[in-house]
Structure 1
Amino acid sequence: MKQAGRKHVKSKWAVAGLFVLSVCASVAFAKDKLLADEHDYKVMATVGGIPVTMPEFEKSVQRNKSGVLSYFHDKYSAEQIPGFWTSSFEGEVPQDLLKKRALDDSLRIKVTEWIAMEQGVINDISYQGFLKQLEQENARRMKAAANHQVIYGPLQYNEDTYLQYILTNAATAVKQKIQLDEHLKPDELALKAFYEKHKHDLYQTPGDIKLFTMAVSFLDANHQVDPVKKERAGKQLKEAAAMLESGASFADTAKTYSDRKTEDELVINLGNDRNNSRSPVARAAAKMNIGETSDIVEENGSLYLLRCTDKTDPGSAFVPFEEIADQVLKDYIDREYENMIQIKLDEAQVNVDESLYQSWKVEE
């Protein structure tokens, strides 16, 4: 199986030959060495002359199994019963899809490592070298633990977790090299152009609500709920709500009824779903309109009244470039890094061992 390199719209980095530098000769030599290093393993495919071994392919199979199972369950209500992997569902065979996804995944990983090798971030991207590095890293961690030294992450890596560790560190290092290179780092004009192009999908405001609040606590000196104080707090805020209904200002009412004798200002970010879901105040505020006063809300040992003073609905505006310039730079480099991986995948010659690929079967 051969895949010709498809044409891809190149970023200015690719046109400038970001990764086609003086390292080409040494990388070519490294490719020959990689093929020699993998003599202990069957090679499922090569990408740009770099081998993808059978163990690497099979690791990708395991990573993609659950996704394929979910796909056929959601689309066809299929269950993993004997014969599932070789059954046809309207012409789609789970085993075929799994092999394709695993091959694509393993090729992408190898290209990611290839880029890191070209940039001097990784020296050895062979599977045999990976296993050696894993063994050395685990030995280092065991020694550090025996010496009561601080260890970040697990005491011992397995192959999957160590691969993710390597890929994450490699991506971070390559992006840092790009960001520090004065010839590659985008200028402000490029960042603003990126912001304008992607603001609808990346930089819409998550929305927020601005509130005045007044609160009355019903906890005792030991921070426990006092039923008497809770009943009294409820009556107190009902009186406050009646005052507001009659036209009294929120500030004047808070001076009389709030524990703090003043109104407090609160801004709730509507994009923070995780925190908001745990906050009765945030949930109540999300339903309010400008000028509206809430019912009494209980949270963390206090009762609250809320007055919505301003509201920006999610997606109704964009976060100004000046406020998120650093995030735009990160997004720009992340996007260009992904583009580089895709360009290399598209342009590299991929050769697949057709016999090995077709004969591989899922173990039921």
Structure 2
Amino acid sequence: MQKSIRHHNSKKKRQSKRTAYIAVFSLVAVFAAVIALIVSLDGSRLNLKINDTLVEKDEYLRIMDENIYEVTQYFTEKYHAGVDKAFWGKEFGGEVPSRMLADKTIEDLKYFRGVYENAREKGYVDSMQYRDLVKRFENENAARKEKISKGEAVYGLSEFTLPLFIEYEMDVIQKNYCDNLENPGMQITEEERQTYYEENKNSIFIKDDDIELEFVRIPYEQDGLSDQETEELKQAMTAMYKEATSETGLESLLGSYENLRSYFASQKILSGERSGYDNLIGDVLELAGELKKGEYSQVIDEYGTLYLIFCKDRVDYDYQSISEVTDVINKNLREEHYDGIIREKAETSVVEGKIEDVYQFTLKQVVK
């Protein structure tokens, strides 16, 4: 009888321990759930997935930071809003800055993920995880640093910032895709080329004229000339302008205007050389843009400079032929097609997460 009572008591003790363990585990689970809820409501943790892949906090914040200026500009221009700490949570005409910022960040994240998802599919990168991108960034900088220490050539930057590295890597990914003509969208038809040429020839396929100019250019502000000195030179230029004809040009008249000789120059520029002169005499070329052969500008006072320009000769050209710009057209169309492929991936991306939690997270980050 005594043995039976001891066995019964031992059984009751084991049941009590199990009950206690269950109670403790339940309390821990409840406590963890409460903490998770508090963190979620507090907005300190991001819980967002795109195509079933978690968006890392640093990944989100990088793109969020890139959109801050655009959002603030929108609200300051549309609502004349003052940008203070309270700005991000205020409502303006039904719009809230922090919510717009979050929406734009998510849209850009979808495109960003589209680039790297496509790159992984094509074998250009091993992983589309943001942390692996950061590792590639660190490895690239380490490799460049080692080359420099050995005296080897390093092309481009000696060291990347993360944003510049991402821009560089995305450009490389785009180039790798566009250079492979077997990739979707990379075969360009003759009809596409012709259409692109006709639509863009007035903006990017105009051929510069061959031109020969004589001109007097006096940067009076830069040279620190007095008002009296400037006026005397201007009067001399005006007299020269009145005396000049299409046959004389300016150079032949300098004997009568010695005070202008040091400011005189002449230049002959062929069509293909134009870009090389933009930094040297771009202002003169701009002012001479409409002058025909044998024509003069009037005496012009702009940019703190006096100008008198004579167009000695001009060979008029129309447009670059389509055969001259075929490679440019192909490159531009392939890049457009690539961008369309990535945007289609972005549009079909599946975003998972409570948008209100994302809004709270964004607001908390932007008002720090």
Q: Name the residue aligned to 2:197.
A: 195
> 2: CA distance between counterparts of 1:61 and 1:338?
21
SS at match of 1:322: coil
Instruction: Look up the SS of the partner of 1:69 in the other structure.
Output: helix
User: How far off its partner does 1:336 sit?
Assistant: 0.4
2:116 matched to 1:113? yes
Give the whole-Å Cα distance in 2 for the aligned partners of 1:202 and 1:305.
26
Q: Does residue 149 of structure 1 match 2:152?
A: yes
The residue matched to 1:323 in structure 2 has which SS?
Answer: coil
Judged with a 3 Å threshold, the aligned counterparts in structure 2 of structure 1 residues 308 and 65 are, in CA distance, closer, same or farther, namely farther
**2:167 aligns to what?**
164
- Name the aligned partner's letter for residue 328 of structure 1: I
Distance in 1 between the 2:133 and 2:61 partners?
15
Shift of 1:134: 2.5
For structure 1, the residue ranges without an aligned partner over 5 or more in a row are: 1-40, 219-223, 225-232
Distance across 2 between alignment mates of 1:138 and 1:345: 30
Please state whether the residue corresponding to 1:306 is helix, strand or coil.
strand
Aligned partner (choices 40, 46, 49) of residue 45 of structure 1: 49
Contact 2:48/2:55 (8 A) holds in 1: yes
CA drift of 1:44 comes to: 1.4
How far off is 1:67 after superposition? 1.3
Choose from 66, 73, 76 the match for 1:63: 66
Instruction: Give the corresponding residue for 2:327.
Output: 326
TM-score (norm 2): 0.64
Change (3 A) 1:318 1:81: same
Aligned counterpart for 2:311 among listed residues 307, 310, 315: 307
Aligned residue type for 1:136: N
* 1:340–1:284 CA distance, 2 compared to 1 (3 A): same
Structure with more contact order per residue of length (Cα contacts < 8 Å, sep ≥ 6)? 2
Q: Residue in 1 aligned with 2:6?
A: none
Name the residue aligned to 2:94. Answer: 91
Looking at structure 1, the residues matched to 168 and 267 of structure 2 have their Cα atoms a distance apart, in angstroms, of: 45
The answer to whether the 8 Å contact 1:212/1:264 transfers is yes
Q: Counterparts of 1:163 and 1:304 in 2: how far apart (Å)? A: 49
Inter-CA distance 267–148: structure 2 relative to 1 (3 Å threshold): closer
Q: SS of the counterpart of 1:249? A: coil
User: Which of 235, 249, 252 lines up with 2:247 in the alignment?
Assistant: 249
What's the C-alpha RMSD, in Å, of the aligned pairs?
Answer: 4.6
CA deviations over 1:247-305 (Å, ceiling 9, x no partner): x6257x8678699xxx8644689x97x9379644224314646753124689xxx9864
Per the TM alignment, residue 43 of structure 1 is displaced from its structure 2 partner at its CA by 4.9
Residue 329 of structure 1, CA deviation: 0.8
Q: What displacement does 1:142 show?
A: 2.8
Q: Do the aligned partners of 1:276 and 1:283 also contact (CA within 8 Å) in 2? A: no
2:214 counterpart SS class = strand
Shift of 1:350: 3.2
Give 2:134's aligned residue: 131
Give the drift of 1:110: 0.7
Aligned partners of 1:117 and 1:123 also within 8 Å: yes
Q: Using the TM superposition, give the Cα deviation of residue 105 of structure 1 relative to its aligned residue in structure 2, in angstroms.
A: 0.8
Structure showing the higher helix proportion among its residues? 2
Residue by residue over 1:317-338, the C-alpha shift from the partner in whole angstroms, topping out at 9 and shown as x without a partner, is 7653233212111111111011
Distance 1:184 1:283 in 2: 38
Q: CA contact under 8 A between 2:288 and 2:309: conserved in structure 1?
A: no
Amino acid corresponding to residue 197 of structure 2 in structure 1: Y
Give the length in aligned residue pairs. 300
The 3-state SS of whatever aligns with 1:161 is helix
Report whether the alignment pairs 1:284 with 2:287: yes
Aligned-partner Cα distance in 1 for 2:173–2:61: 22
CA–CA separation in structure 2 for the residues paired with 1:58 and 1:249 = 67
In structure 1, what is the equivalent of residue 214 of structure 2? 214
Task: Name the TM-score, length of structure 1 as normaliser.
Answer: 0.65
In structure 2, how many angstroms separate the alpha carbons of the residues matched to 1:278 and 1:256?
22
Asked whether the 8 Å contact 2:50–2:349 carries over to 1, the reply is: no
What residue in structure 2 maps to residue 9 of structure 1?
Answer: none
Distance change in 2, residues 1:199/1:162 (3 Å): closer
Structure 2 portions without partners, runs of 5+? 1-44, 224-232, 256-260
Whichever residue aligns with residue 344 of structure 1, its letter is K
* Cross-structure match for 1:347: 348
**1:103 matched to 2:106:** yes
Q: Does the 8 Å CA contact 2:99/2:359 hold for their aligned counterparts?
A: no
Q: Which position in structure 1 is the counterpart of 2:188?
A: 186
Take 2:80 and 2:188, find their aligned partners in 1: how far apart are those partners? 48
Structure 1 residue identity aligned to 2:214: M
